[in-house]
């Protein structure tokens, strides 16, 4: 009788499922005091982390002039209609080119007000979508401040569709779009040509998870990347998980970090940006 041994992909799926269960299970809450229960992760614990923001200047960050500033200990980006041509829908980034990472833990706080959306780029590069004409500064789409790669999305609820975006894993300027919607565990497989991600499981109902998003207020965002496994955790709730088994994937590379502002009018704020880089 032959015995089938687990493949590398099998182990990736099992690891992702175990991580999701550990992070998302109320049964292991410390408050229950059950024997063997895990300690709750302290978002404010920065041991082993490096700060990406000094709290008072934009040192180490670059973005379109006139959009970014520091207010009250936070990085702030703001757009208004009189800053661009009438038809503009800005989509631009404040970029940190000084640190490149593939495997890491990133913690930060984010707030979006007035409308529009934001996101955190990681494992990314500077550039525009292949095959598309680069934008212009007066449209808020200067290619010098455009990025390519995976993003932890976060939006103001400007409409019913935008309410679903916060927490999802979006692929910026690759043509792939949303890879893992909020509430999904998704796998991407290797192969020739674009590979459509497949749904492995559900973390929870997308609308129900939206109750954990603080609209117009501060939110705690944690992004964890280990090899082909990426997790988005928002206010302590696991929101999206990707297992990317394609070594050629744009999600599976080392890259830089960036902060997005999209739409007009829009105001985005970031504070307490801490990175624990593994490689």
Reported as a single tens digit per residue, the pLDDT across 77-103 is 999 999 999 999 999 999 999 999 999
Residues 227-250: tens digit of each pLDDT: 999 999 999 999 999 999 999 999
CA 110 to chain CA centroid, Å, is 11
CB 221, CB 152: distance < 8 Å: yes
- Rounded-to-integer distance, Cα 9 and Cα 27, Å: 28
Q: What is the token pair recorded at 220?
A: 């705690």
- Rounded-to-integer distance, Cα 119 and Cα 110, Å: 9
- Rounded-to-integer distance, Cα 196 and Cα 172, Å: 16
CB 77, CB 120: distance < 8 Å: no
pTM recorded for the entire structure: 0.88
- Rounded-to-integer distance, Cα 157 and Cα 39, Å: 33
Query: Domains plus CATH for the chain?
Result: 8-277 (2.60.120.560)
Identify the pLDDT of residue 19: 52
- Rounded-to-integer distance, Cα 46 and Cα 60, Å: 20
- Rounded-to-integer distance, Cα 273 and Cα 223, Å: 11
């Amino acid at each position: 009788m032959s015995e089938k041994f687990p493949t590398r992909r099998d182990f990736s799926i099992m690891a992702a499922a175990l991580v999701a269960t550990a992070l998302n299970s109320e049964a292991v809450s410390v408050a229950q005091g059950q024997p063997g229960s895990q300690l709750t992760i302290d978002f404010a614990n920065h041991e082993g982390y490096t700060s990406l923001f000094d709290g008072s200047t934009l040192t180490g960050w670059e973005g379109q002039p006139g959009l970014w500033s520091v207010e009250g200990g936070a990085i702030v980006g703001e757009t208004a209609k009189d800053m661009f041509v009438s038809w503009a829908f800005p989509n631009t980034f404040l970029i940190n080119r000084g640190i490149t990472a593939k495997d890491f833990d990133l913690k930060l706080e984010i707030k979006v007000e007035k409308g529009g959306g934001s996101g955190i780029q990681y494992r990314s590069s500077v550039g525009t979508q292949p095959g598309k004409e680069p934008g212009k500064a007066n449209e808020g789409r200067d290619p010098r401040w455009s990025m390519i790669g995976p993003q932890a999305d976060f939006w103001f609820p400007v409409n019913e569709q935008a309410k679903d975006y916060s927490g999802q894993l979006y692929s910026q300027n690759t043509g792939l779009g949303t890879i893992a919607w909020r509430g999904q565990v998704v796998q991407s497989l290797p192969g020739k040509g674009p590979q459509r991600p497949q749904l492995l499981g559900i973390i929870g109902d997308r609308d129900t998870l939206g109750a954990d998003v603080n609209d117009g207020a501060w939110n705690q965002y944690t992004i964890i990347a280990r090899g082909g496994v990426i997790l988005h955790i928002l206010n302590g709730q696991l929101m999206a998980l990707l297992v990317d088994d394609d070594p050629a994937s744009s999600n599976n590379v080392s890259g830089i970090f960036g902060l997005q502002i999209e739409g007009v009018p829009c105001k985005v704020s970031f504070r307490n940006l801490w990175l624990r880089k593994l490689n």
